[in-house]
Structure 1
Amino acid sequence: MLTPSGSPRHAGAPGPGRDAAVERRAPARLAWPDVARGLAIGLVVLYHATNWTWQTGYEVGVLREVNETLRSLRMPLFFTVAGMFAAKWTTVPWSRLARGKLLFFAWVFVLWEPVSLLVRLLTGYYQVADADWGTLGHDLAWSLLVPRSELWFIWTLAVFFVIARALRRVPAPVQLVLAAAVGAWALAGWEPASLAWRGTAQFALFFLAGLHLRPLLERFAERVTWLWAVGAVAVWLGVQVAVRELGLADVPGCYLLANIAGVPAGVTVSVLLSRVPGALGLRWLGARTLPVFVTHTSVVLALLSVLWRNGIWIPAPPSQWLPVALWAAAIAVGLALGELAPRIGARWLFAPPRWLSGSGR
């Protein structure tokens, strides 16, 4: 999901009257997975913008409620789509996996984790009492084992590729059952030292489901109608609200059901949006998620720090719109940097040098 999209990764069926050989040379790329990626990254940025705005002291209760509901959709959708395009990496030699995919994740993480933590320290958002340069150094030294920032996504994705490669000879049903058991437990309130550890346990099921159930997901997407979408979203919301209102979130398995229901809901919404001319920009965003992902928190914290340090206070209810403004700014900055980097010889900001990665991912 966080890799460049220079070549088609999702071939559609040849259209009527089209030459099959031509189709093999230039496979069509379906729109909805890119829309799903764009939707997921957009929701992630909004979630972080809302949380940091709330921690600054602004009233954003409405968006916090919205984000809490969307929690069971954005991450399952994110990792399911990522898993859909991981199949080839489960069969390559370990050396190729390491030099290709894992090197990419490691490069981006090692480069941007210090930036993220440094911005937190300088803006006062470190979330550690009396954090100083010693705290920063300690956390960076251990970051490959205990990630501290929102870059836990990248760390977790790397682990998922390793897991998928290691378990390639284990029957898919066994993998999914084991991952479901772990996820049911982790989603019931496990709070380890690192978000990356928790995310790995909570969402391995969805990455593996995308990997092993891709044909099923594709057939489901092909048949999506407005009625199906309304039904899928209604089921997801029904399970989500029931689990929350009945206080079942800490009961192993209950919140997992809400997350599972979030996948078809997210897929149907993505499919319908992909049929809208321009796809509301989500398809374009979905093919450029990495720069937005690694930079958005720093942009949000920097802007909030400017507001706070200059005594700019936004009272409620207008304050409810502040995260939306921060969301738009963070995405714009990330996309602009992503477009600018290769033009000024800074491709290395978002990918390892070609001489180091060999044939690429």
Structure 2
Amino acid sequence: MQPFLKKVFLLILLMVSAVAQADRVKDLATLAGVRNNQLVGYGLVVGLDGSGDQTTQTPFTVQSVVNMLTNLGVQVPPAGNLQLKNVAAVTVTATLPPFARPGQPLDVTVSSIGNAKSLRGGTLLMAPLKGADGQIYAMAQGNLLVASNGVVGGGAGAQPNLLATGRIPAGATVERAVPTMLGNGEYVQLELMQTDFGTANRMVTAINAQLGPVAAALDGRVIQVRAPMDSNQRVAFLARLENVELTPAAVSPKVIINARTGSVVMNQAVQVEPCAVAHGSLTVTVAPQQGGNAPAANAGEAEVGGAVLRFGKAASLNQVVRALNAVGATPQDLLAILQAMKSAGALKAELEII
């Protein structure tokens, strides 16, 4: 039996604390209408040391350079065969936060869309950033910050850094504000990040207990709260509202499996019913606890090639997965077993594969 740390299978157990802890309203819900907006643009990075696009394979880079030079008053001969090694075509992305005003700086991410080998040392020329409505909301320009080392790690495990992406801190300036309304009339609405009727009810109870009878649940996700009409008073009211503490309802049992890496994430609510699974040379048995407090002798076990590991009554998926890993189950074995347990009704949880 190989050591645990040398297993191919990677297990990640995310256990929810058994002791209920209070969360704030701001941790569980957002204010309707107060949201980020994604911006995207196209631009050119210049000043690269021969690591730019191969223009014979990226004609859009040449076209962009010609258009830029024409706008600057430089006439390029139509038959000219430009061999540009120090230029790269890139996409520029940024996030416009709520209440952003013209003149506010934004961080931007610049990513190559051609075949440039590296953007290190380059400078982004002025690029407009547009929203989903096609309007320009910011302008970006500046020197790129890219990882300085060509490789990370050492020896045979050395891996190259991703040099085709860089960032420009405060590299964009907001040119247009997005109107953000703090509610509709005398009401504001809270939207739970996850729909849950129990949490919605508890949030209404907690808000009304601390701020008076001002909140009412519209459904399992939206809570309507009456707020002052004066903007200054409304901001002060919302500051108190978002810090109201409550204990959310118990989470639903859920198991998330990454089929590529073999990682498994589960919460404490996951349980398994008595079952038996045979998968190739792997046999798993989960049996209920016999009378009294003493578990059955074979209450839970996993066997591979004659090696048997007993792990108690195996009342939770946590114990089952640990046992499978200990006897050498591969990620593919685990995926097949959990899916079979879910289909048979033995796995009492939502199974999500990513």
Instruction: Verify same fold: TM over 0.5.
Output: no
Name the TM-score, length of structure 2 as normaliser.
0.18
Point out the structure with the larger strand share. Answer: 2
**Structure ID, larger Rg:** 2
Q: Which has more helix, going by share of residues?
A: 1
